[in-house]
Structure formats: C-alpha cells, structure tokens
Chain A
Amino acid sequence: MLRIHELYKKYGKSTALDRLSLHINEGEMYGFVGPNGAGKTTTMKIVAGLLDADGGQVYVDGIDAIKYPKRVKEKIAYMPDFFGVYDNLKVLEYMKFFASIYDIDKKAETYCMELLEMVGLNNKTGCYVDELSRGMKQKLCLARCLIHDPKLLILDEPASGMDPKARFEFREILKRLNQLGKTVLISSHILTELAELCTNIGIIDKGKLLLSDTIDEVFKTLNTSSPLVITVLDDVEKTVSCLRNNPFIENLSFKENSIRINTTGDLHMEALLLKMLIDKGILVTEFRRERRNLESVFLKIIEGKDNDEDEPGV
C-alpha cells in the first residue's frame, strides 16, 4: 500500500530524512515511533503531498506520490496532530463541507451521519465544532478523513492530549477501521498504546528507520536480550553456584528465591540451562524472559544506535 524508497529531506543544513525506506502492506496498522524531531511528521507530510521531498520515491497503492500527488490524494487521508477549528461551524456542517470537496452532495447528510455514528458523534451534529472536547474534535477529524473512503489513513499523533477514556475509544475506532480493511500509518509518543493497537512497528530516529517489523517479531528479537528470571523453590545458593560456572552468563543478581541473569546465548542455551538445573535436582518454579514493554524496546534501539555512532571507526 505504501512504499517509501530512500526518502531524503533537508531543512536548511539539518537533515530531516536520511534516505528513509519503508514498506507498509495493505491492511496493516503501522506504528511510526520516534523521538521529537526524528522525521515522523516530515515523512507523513511528504506522503500526504504537503511537503516537497529532496530525493527518493513514494508510492501509494502503486502510484508515484511525488509525480502524481492529485491522484494519491484520492487514496489517502491525512490527520494532523492538531485539530484546527472553524468558529461558527456546526459538526454536521463541518462534515458536509468536506463532503462537498469530494463532490458528495446528494445523500451527503446521510453519509456524514453514518460516519459520525461510527465515531460516536451522531448526537453532536448540532454542536459548534469549537465547543467540542479535544477527544471529540479528534474523532470528528477522523470522521472527516473517512469522507472519501481512503485506502490509507495517515494519522499524526492522533491521541495526543486525549484523556484515557477518549484514547481508549479512539483506539477502538481505529481497530474497527483496520478490520474494515483500511491501512493505517499512525505516529505516537504513547508507545504502549501502539503496541496494543498496531500490527507492525517502525522506529525512526534522526531521519533513519532503525527497525521495521511486525510487533511480535520486534518483541521476539528483543526478548532474547532481556534478562532471564529464574525462581526456585529453595536452595538459592546451590542454584547460583551452578549458574556462575556457565560460560554464557554475563552477570547475575538475586533477591530471595528469584535470580536474574543476563546471557549471551540463544533459545537453545536457555533450554540447556533449564535442563542442567533440573538434572542437578533444583526445583525450578519459574523460568522466563523478562517481558519488555515498547518503551524499553524503543529506548534500547535508540540507545544502541547512539552508542554505535559514538564508537570510533563504526
């Protein structure tokens, strides 16, 4: 659905996008994660035809977005991070305004009502847009995005500033849209939310894509580098002495019956370690990798990248 190849953009002397490449398949919910100034909004704006690229290619549904922005605009909808408000315009009128842009004049009201119902604003049609809460405004903006039935939704930090309830509701709407076959590119700072919502994730920093994979693969890859937690029923000292002799173990710490180790080995080593403990008669009650959340994954990748850059000769 979206293919970005070696996208390059400079603002003056600073490089916003450094040959960024990205691929999003149809029906994916792609989480775009990165610190402030990483290049998320720049990427989204280029795809939406709101910004010039200095190099590279963008294809939306097979159409060159840089060459044919008009054709691409029919297939995408862009939702900026801030919802601008028109004074003196009611919710239904706001929707009808966008409907008229896409030549939906006949049955516009019925269609707009359907979309408003989808986002839960069907009882707010007579309200002025500027009187809505932040969450409602964002939902209205999402309904507006759907007016021309786009294939790709580009949502730039849509949940920022929302309260937890509104955030939950918004997430549910996005899930429903994804189930309806919409491809979604969503950026956010609320990384845990992306973990629950997205099928795929891409981590961007300093204009470069550091990682792009399915959310399960991202966790699987990073899981092996997470500390291993072993809880035993008793005889902690015996367990610790057994583990200390293992060449794969980098460091070890323990508290009560729980031992936390960092290893250099893979899943095979993990299985052998467990077998060795059982063979030595140690009663193991828990043997697992510490589950990392998306925030720690994100920080680990960013830190790893920074360390690589700091090392001379890398």
Chain B
Amino acid sequence: MKMNPVYKKELQINVRSIKLPVMIIFFNMMLTLIGLIVFYDIISLTEIEANISYSSAITLYQLLVIIEFSLLVFVVPAVTAGGISGERERQTLDILLSSRLTPANIILGKLASSVNTMILLIISGLPVISLIFIFGGVTFRDVLTITIYLVFVTFFVGTLGIVFSTAVKRTTSATVLTYGSILFFCLGTLLLTAMLVFVIRFQNPEAEALAGAGWTLIILLFNPVITLLELLERQVGVTFDLFDWRFGMEIPLFLKTHWIILSIMLQSVLTGVLLYFSCHQLDPLKKKKAKSLKR
C-alpha cells in the first residue's frame, strides 16, 4: 500500500523538530510527577494502616488515566491546529493543492501524522501507567482498552484542530477555536445537560419527572470525558466521584448498557462529518462543485 506523501513528509519533519522531545519530556514529567505524588501518598498510608487499600490503588490508576487524557487534550490542538493554516502561512498550501494531491490526501496525512505523534506520547507514558501493576486490581487488558480509547480521543480532538485549521487563516485563531470547541465538548455539554435538568425541575419539581428525564443525558454521549469516566468505572467497578454527571437521574437501560459503543459511534460519525467538511473547505474549486450539484 502506498504511504500518504504528506504523512511521510510530516513524520520526517516532526522527528527532526525540537518540539517532539520537548513534548515527550513535558508530558512524561507531568504524568510521573502526579503519579509519584499519589504513589507516595499510598505508601505513606500503608505505613500507618499496615495494609494497602485497594481503593487507593484504583484511585492512582484513575488519576493517572485522567491526567494522561487531560494532557493529550491539551497537547493535540497545539499539534493539529497549525496543520493546514501552517501550510497557508508558510505559503506552501498552493503548491500542494496545485499538485496531484487531493484535499483529502492533505487533511488525512496531516491528521495521521498528528495522531502518530500522540500515539508516541501515549506509548511513552505507558511505564508510568504501569505503576498500577505493583498493586494489582487492573489488568493489562484494561490498560490496553484505555490506550485504544485515548488514541480514539486523539483522532476526535485532532479532527477538531484540523477543521479549524482549514476554516481560518491564522494558526493562533485556529488554536483558540480548537481549545474553545474542546471546552464545549468537555464542559459545554455538561452545562447544557445541567440547564435541561434545571428546566425539567423547574417545570415539574416532583422526583418522578426527573426520573423519566434520563434521556437528556444523551447529549453527554458527545462528551469524551464522560465516556472515559464510564469506561474507568466499568473497568474497576468504582465511580470516580469527582462530580455526579448523571445529575441524580437514572440512565435509561439501553443507554447505560451501550454507553461506550454509542458514544464512540457518535463521536466517530461527528469526526467523519468534520473531516468531510474540512476536505470540502480546502477544495479551491468547491464553489464550482456546489454550483454543478445544484444543477
């Protein structure tokens, strides 16, 4: 199979850039620092209680995964938001577009290389995540599942970066918009659900009304944080009680059973739609195509 030329070129450029080692060092430094603090806390407790609490070990795992997730969500826009706008700023985009490359080739090459970098970060963080194996309670399969989910989130967030990078001219604007959209998906959807719950409670203060309003949580299927928390809960059987994202409502059984797969499917569809939009946006002859479609 032929390798995407843009992907190949980006890999070549990325490995020579100082950005990559700096990113790996920063990423692992943060992960290690937090991991070691929690690890030290567990050991300190052991000295007092003379036994290792299973819940502490699970908290360490959950914390490490959430920190890794947060770092990824923080780093991905910095890598992807300059993908297309960077080419535009360097004035190399016209050269690429006037060649045989299609907008899809360019966009997928850019996205794949960014995801590649992120996979490198995830893999480099595995030794720190493996701290949990000292205490047990989490299997290798659990870590692998989480790793695959993190790669998926990288695709989703990376696509947001590429979309804005294609839509706006400047990398700075694209980066700001990407962070804004991530904030919307991670916090905005929660806020939206909270508002809906508030309206339902306001209209009908009785408890039964809220019990039947579990479907409003469907919005949260687009929230990668919630899906991560749900995944962690299923793996270790313990809720990471940061907050009650269910707002005291009962999740409908169908949603509860298929939450992970539904969420991944919906986010995948959204990723696909956004990528299609980006390809269309990058096509210099899009107006002409739109006209011919109208006819």
Contact = CB atoms under 8 A, between A and B. Distances in A.
A276 interface: no
A103 B100 CA distance: 10
Contacts of A89: 9, 12-13
B134 interface: no
A87 B95 contact: no
Contacts of A105: 2
Given A50-B284, A86-B90, A101-B5, A78 B16 contact: no
Contacts of B141: none
Nearest to B284: A50
A78 B95 contact: yes
A76 B95 CA distance: 12
A148 B286 CA distance: 25
Contacts of A102: 99-100
Interface in A53-109: 53, 66, 69-70, 73-74, 76-78, 80, 82-89, 93, 97-98, 100-103, 105
B8 interface: yes
30 contacts: A48-B94, A50-B94, A50-B97, A50-B98, A52-B284, A52-B286, A52-B288, A70-B100, A74-B100, A76-B98, A78-B95, A78-B98, A80-B94, A82-B91, A84-B87, A84-B90, A84-B91, A84-B93, A84-B95, A85-B90, A86-B9, A86-B13, A86-B92, A88-B13, A89-B12, A97-B9, A101-B5, A101-B99, A102-B100, A103-B2
Nearest to A87: B13
A101 B285 contact: no
Contact of B285 (A49, A77, A84): A49
Interface of B: 2-3, 5, 8-9, 12-13, 16-17, 87, 90-95, 97-101, 284-288
Contacts of B13: 86-89
Contacts, number: 76
Report which residue of B87, B94, B97, B285 has the largest number of chain A beta carbons within 10 angstroms of its beta carbon.
B94
A48 B9 contact: no
Contact of A48 (B3, B98, B287): B98
A132 interface: no
A51 interface: yes
Contacts of A93: 9, 12
Nearest to A79: B95
Contact of A101 (B12, B92, B101): B101
Enumerate the 8 nearest inter-chain pairs by beta-carbon distance, A residue then B residue, closest first. Answer: A84-B92, A84-B91, A88-B16, A78-B98, A84-B90, A100-B5, A52-B287, A48-B98
Contacts of B91: 80, 82-84
A191 to B, nearest CB: 25
A73 B99 contact: yes
Nearest to B99: A101
A82 B93 CA distance: 11
Nearest to B4: A100
A48 B93 CA distance: 13
Nearest to B10: A86
Contacts of A70: 100
A49 B94 CA distance: 10
Contacts of B5: 97, 100-101
B17 A49 contact: no
A187 to B, nearest CB: 15
Report which residue of A48, A66, A93, A101 has the largest number of chain B beta carbons within 10 angstroms of its beta carbon.
A101
B55 to A, nearest CB: 48
A78 B8 contact: no
Contacts of B3: 100
Nearest to B89: A84
A85 B99 CA distance: 16
Contact of B100 (A51, A97, A101): A101
Contacts of B87: 84
Contacts of A53: 288
A66 B288 contact: yes
Contacts of A82: 91
A165 B100 CA distance: 33
A48 B95 CA distance: 10
A87 B9 contact: no
Contacts of A144: 95
A89 B285 CA distance: 30
Contact of A87 (B17, B93, B101, B286): B17
